[in-house]
Chain A
């Protein structure tokens, strides 16, 4: 069974939305991710996942010949990788189907779906 990584991006819109969230809203949001993950688990589609702390990320750049260390986020357009899920799915289509209900999309974020490369 192929494995897929779902990279959860916090778009600018989503970051703006989250900025207005109360603590309770945030807790609520966290629970929705947990529930979504539990759903995956019950269907044996869940392999792992985590949210990534939004602050303090660093980017190390080796492309310029000598290494540079910069503050994150990686993208100049300020999208931020907010977390990831590792899931099993039959195909890209199937993985997209599963992702449709991911709370990230409900909060205005975006999800990149990439197949994990087995040997």
Chain B
């Protein structure tokens, strides 16, 4: 079993979609995330996750002698890392399959699947 990190990127499309949701639709959407996570938990392959604050944070760049601190985000795209999940899976293919079921994608977000190499 390997560990995989699913990095969730929030996109502008996703923000717009959430903005247009009715209370009922929001509750249904939360239910979908829970159902997804519940499935992983029942198989014992849900290893956790965190939401990152919706602020761009800070970025440290290795410039000259002293690292430089600038405002985030680092990526020059419209997306922001919104959070991540850690899961266990046998292979990349299995991890991608789990990822593809995540509601994040249905709501217009993006996800990156990366295998964890312990330090």
Contact = CB atoms under 8 A, between A and B. Distances in A.
Query: Per the CB under 8 Å rule, do A and B touch in the complex?
Result: yes
Interface of A: 3, 5, 7, 9, 30, 33-34, 37, 49-53, 56-63, 65, 67, 69, 72-77, 79, 81, 83-84, 86, 92, 95-96, 99-100, 102, 104-117
Nearest to B5: A52
Contact of A72 (B13, B72, B106, B114): B114
B118 interface: yes
A92 to B, nearest CB: 6
A50 to B, nearest CB: 5
Nearest to A102: B60
Given A62-B104, A67-B105, A92-B58, A75 B75 contact: yes
Q: Tell me whether chain A's interface is mostly helix, strand or loop, or mixed.
A: mixed
Nearest to A113: B58
Q: Tell me whether chain B's interface is mostly helix, strand or loop, or mixed.
A: mixed
Given A81-B112, A100-B60, A117 B54 contact: yes
A73 to B, nearest CB: 8
B58 A112 contact: yes
30 contacts: A7-B81, A50-B3, A50-B118, A51-B117, A52-B116, A56-B92, A58-B92, A58-B113, A60-B105, A62-B104, A62-B107, A62-B110, A63-B108, A63-B109, A65-B108, A74-B9, A76-B77, A77-B75, A77-B76, A96-B58, A96-B60, A96-B69, A105-B62, A111-B59, A112-B73, A114-B57, A115-B57, A116-B51, A116-B53, A117-B52
Nearest to B56: A114
Contacts of B99: 58, 60
Contacts of A63: 11, 13-14, 108-110
A112 B62 CA distance: 12
A84 to B, nearest CB: 8
Nearest to A50: B116
Contacts of A110: 59-62, 74
B58 A95 contact: yes
A114 B116 contact: no
A74 B99 CA distance: 15
